[in-house]
Amino acid sequence: MKPNIKLAETKTPDGHRFSLHSHDGSFCIRLNGREVMHSSVTSSETLLGDLACGLLARRPGSRCLIGGLGLGFTLKSVLEKSGPNVDVYVAELMPEVVEWNRTFLAGLNGALLDDPRTHILNGDVWNIIARAPLASYDAILLDIDNGPAGMVQKENSRIYGHKGIMKIAAALKTGGRAAIWSSYADRPFQERLTNAGFEVEVVPAKAYPNAKRFAYTIYVADKVD
C-alpha cells in the first residue's frame, strides 16, 4: 500500500490546522484532519467555472474574480473555456496555498498561475470585493468555504449575508454573473440573492462525473439591472 504523505501544513486565520497531502499521485487538502478538497473529486469545482465561461467568452476584455484558489480546478475551467481575452483574478486568503500550487502542485494546475491571464490577489475576497470599484467584474465565482456557514474561517460567512450579497452586486457589471459553490442547499441564502435583485438558478453538482447523486449546490445569480 502506498503511503499517505503530508507535504505541508499551516494554520488558518482562526488557528485551525490546514494541510496538504499526497497519495498515489493524488492530492488533498485537510482542515483539522478532515478532507475538504481532493484532486480526483473535482466535478463541482469545474462546473463552477463552466457556469461563467459562456458569459465571459461573449464579452471581449472580460474580467472574472475567483474567490479561493484551492487545487486550481475552477481556474483551469475558466482559462480553458473563456478564450484569450479574459483577465482572471484569483483571491486567496492563505499565501501558503498559492505557494503549494507553485511547488507541490506545479504538475497539477500550478502552471496556470504563470498564465498571463491569471492575476493572484493575496487577501480576503470580502475585502477585495468590498474595495472594488463599481461594476468591476463580469463574473464573480466563490468557492471559499463550506457554503453560507463558514467552516475554514468564521468571517467567511459575512459574504453570504445581505451586506455581502449587495457588495457582490455592486462589484458586478450589469448582466454580470455570480456563481457560488455550497456543500448543501440553503433556501434562505437563495432567498437573499433573489431579494437583492438577482435572477437565481439553483444548479445541482456531482462530486465526480459518474456519481449517482448530486452532492453539492451551485447558486447562479445574474445581475439584471
Q: What is the CATH number of the domain that holds 208?
A: 3.40.50.150
Q: What is the pLDDT at residue 129?
A: 97
Q: Which three cell numbers stand for residue 90?
A: 484569483
The answer to the question of residue 50 being in a domain is: yes
Q: What is the mean pLDDT of each run of 10 residues along the chain (225 residues)?
A: 89 93 96 93 95 86 95 96 92 96 97 97 94 97 76 68 95 96 92 96 92 93 91
The answer to the question of residue 124 being in a domain is: yes
In 3-state terms the chain splits into helix, strand, coil percentages (rounded to 5) of 30, 35, 35
Rounded CA separation 72/27 (Å) = 12
Enumerate residues 6+ apart whose C-beta is below 8 A from 92.
Answer: 68, 69, 98, 120, 121, 122, 123
The answer to the question of residue 145 being in a domain is: yes
The answer to the question of residue 18 being in a domain is: no
Would you list the DSSP string of 122-172? ES-HHHHHHHSPTT-EEEEEE-SSSSSS-SS-GGGGGGGSHHHHHHHHHHE
Q: What is the pLDDT at residue 2?
A: 74
Q: What is the pLDDT at residue 96?
A: 97
Find the domain containing 174 and state its range.
Answer: 41-223
Please state, as a whole number, how many other Cβ atoms lie within 10 Å of the Cβ of residue 117. Answer: 17
Per the structure, the count of domains in the chain is 1
**Is 136:73 a contact under the CB 8 Å cutoff?**
no
Rounded CA separation 76/95 (Å) = 19
* DSSP 3-state of 18: strand
The answer to the question of residue 57 being in a domain is: yes
Phi and psi at residue 83, to the nearest 5°: 90, 180
Q: Which three cell numbers stand for residue 215?
A: 452532492
The answer to the question of residue 4 being in a domain is: no
Q: What is the pLDDT at residue 156?
A: 65
The answer to the question of residue 80 being in a domain is: yes
Q: What is the pLDDT at residue 225?
A: 75
Rounded CA separation 186/200 (Å) = 13
The answer to the question of residue 214 being in a domain is: yes
